[in-house]
Structure 1
Amino acid sequence: MIDQRIVAAYEGMLGDVERITVPTRFGDTFAAAAGPVDGPVIVLVHGSGANTAMWRVGEWAARHRVYALDIPGEPGLSADNRLPMADHVDWFDDVLDGLGVREAAFVGMSLGGWLVLDYAQRRADRVTRLVLLNPAGLGRMRVGFALKAVFFKLLGERGLRMSLRAALGEVPPAQVEYLALVFRHFRPRTDVPVLGPLALTMPVLAVVGDHDAMLDGSLTARRLRAEVPHARVDVVDAGHLLPDQTTTALEFLEES
């Protein structure tokens, strides 16, 4: 069960968004929505240990209808039901159908990147464009980071904060306490498989941090360039927690 202290802190961070609950076969899904109801749809999908608060939804919504989804089983407001990875395709179908959305552009960060990549492979007719931010699944987690995480765990509260900085890179001070609260009471997924060969037809933008301590950004970039030659792949001076990519993503999503 998601710790209620995490839920309370998250509720305070949501801001001025429409709050929608979508029934699915896997339990209720929470969506933070904003923007004109007749605008082209963007679906935002966060990473593990996160929720829709990471997106600042209103900044995406000037000309788009935006739905930021809380992944089930993550520290948000959706059902506390961690799904097998392959079941997220049916979950996306249920959510889109429940929202009355036929097709959308998808933006995924880390775990969310894996989920939207897999969905785009299996439901290409429902994905108009794809934005991947340090996506998981194109290479294994770095072994060095896993060893560091074990060491930091031995250092208690100080180690927790060191681990956050090691995993994510530069963390804004305002987020440190919230992230520490989350990872004090929540265990991120470790069962994220490497995806097989990619066959994507829609326009794709990927932004990869070249100092990502968790994922092999160079391998991610190489795979995307080799297997999705039409993709735009930006490698930036950042770790796993990328600097704000909203403007870059929106410019890509609005290209004719």
Structure 2
Amino acid sequence: MTTVYRSAAGAEAVRRRYDVLLDRWPVPAEPRTLATRLGDTFAVVSGPVDAPPVVALQGSGGTAAHWLPDIATLAGRLRVHAVDAPGEPGRTVEARPPLGSPAYAEWLDDVLDALELPRAAFLGTSLGGWWALDFALRRPERVAALALVNPAGIGRRRVAPLLKFAAYSLFGDWGRRRSLAMVAKGSPADPERRELGEFTLATFEHFKPRLEAVPVVPVERLRELVMPVQAHFGAHDVLLDQRDAAAKLRQARPDADVRLAEDAGHFLPGWAAAVTEFLNGGRS
């Protein structure tokens, strides 16, 4: 059986720590296990039942717990379905179809059907942003609005940091901390985010990240996005050229709300209130 973990013991260690974080979810929430064609998918649902529905997708190595610093803001006015993606840590099936295939759009079709949502807004960060973007292009009729936070797949991927990460990986915990420090440069250092950083370090001790390159969406395809779009980019993202991404999205969709934070990196702070207002249709 293919697994995304280096060992069964490592998988259990990550899941135990994940469950501890889920127990600290700051607003009332319902855990859900959704049947999909790829396998069982885990989600945490919170926010007012009659609020606009939002499917939230985290990035590579992420879980629903990574929304903890922002879920109270989001779930104040949105019905948030925080979903663990397949092939990532958490409690969803470990399947990893090719990123360029239709498999992830089909999986999200099943997620929406299991949630009894004909249509929803999508919020994605990093690789989760690419999944949301891919679904919006393949299934525009099912995406009410699209909010992206430092998404992959628009700007150019930076190669030099990947070479550094590969070198650091030879040095165990020190190397993982060094890599995380590079990615987190410019992020706020509040206790909750530090705890998530420690969880990320513990996860990557046991988890095997994807090595497949994320397909880049050209400008002409971005023009096919028909729904309202808001996107937040960090100018100092060490993984992705987000200046390039912001320029491409502005060229493709001049009406989109594109924000480039000059002092921020990959872990972008301060976006949750703007995204909440945008996905709530500007209602107070």
Q: TM-score, normalised by structure 2?
A: 0.86
Structure 1 stretches (4+) deviating beyond 4 angstroms? none
The aligned counterpart of 2:272 is 246
Could you tell me which amino acid in structure 1 is paired with residue 85 of structure 2? I
The aligned counterpart of 2:35 is 23
Q: State the distance in 1 between where 2:204 and 2:165 align.
A: 12
Equivalences for 1:95-110 in 2 at 5 Å?
A: 95-110=111-126
The aligned counterpart of 1:80 is 94
The aligned counterpart of 2:180 is 164
Could you tell me which amino acid in structure 1 is paired with residue 271 of structure 2? Q
Q: State the distance in 1 between where 2:112 and 2:197 align.
A: 33
Do the aligned partners of 1:17 and 1:58 also contact (CA within 8 Å) in 2?
no
Could you tell me which amino acid in structure 2 is paired with residue 128 of structure 1? A
Could you tell me which amino acid in structure 1 is paired with residue 274 of structure 2? T
Q: State the distance in 2 between where 1:139 and 1:214 align.
A: 10
Structure 1 stretch 43-52 or stretch 162-171: which is displaced more? Answer: 162-171
The aligned counterpart of 1:186 is 207
Q: State the distance in 1 between where 2:16 and 2:215 align.
A: 32
Q: CA deviation at 1:37?
A: 2.2
Q: Deviations over 1:188-246 (max 9, x none)?
A: 22321112321111110100000000001111111101112211110112110111421
Unaligned runs of 5+ in 2: 6-10
CA RMSD across the alignment: 1.5
Q: Deviations over 1:68-115 (max 9, x none)?
A: 100011001111112322210000000101110011110000101101
The aligned counterpart of 1:176 is 197
SS at the partner of 1:61?
Answer: helix
Q: CA deviation at 1:58?
A: 4.0
Do the aligned partners of 2:41 and 2:85 also contact (CA within 8 Å) in 1?
yes
Asked if residue 89 in structure 1 is aligned to residue 126 in structure 2, the reply is no
Q: TM-score, normalised by structure 1?
A: 0.95
Once the two structures are aligned, what percentage of the paired residues are identical? 43
Could you tell me which amino acid in structure 1 is paired with residue 115 of structure 2? L
Unaligned runs of 5+ in 1: none
Equivalences for 1:112-127 in 2 at 5 Å?
A: 112-127=128-143
Q: State the distance in 2 between where 1:244 and 1:78 align.
A: 28
Do the aligned partners of 2:127 and 2:151 also contact (CA within 8 Å) in 1?
yes
Alignment length (residue pairs): 256
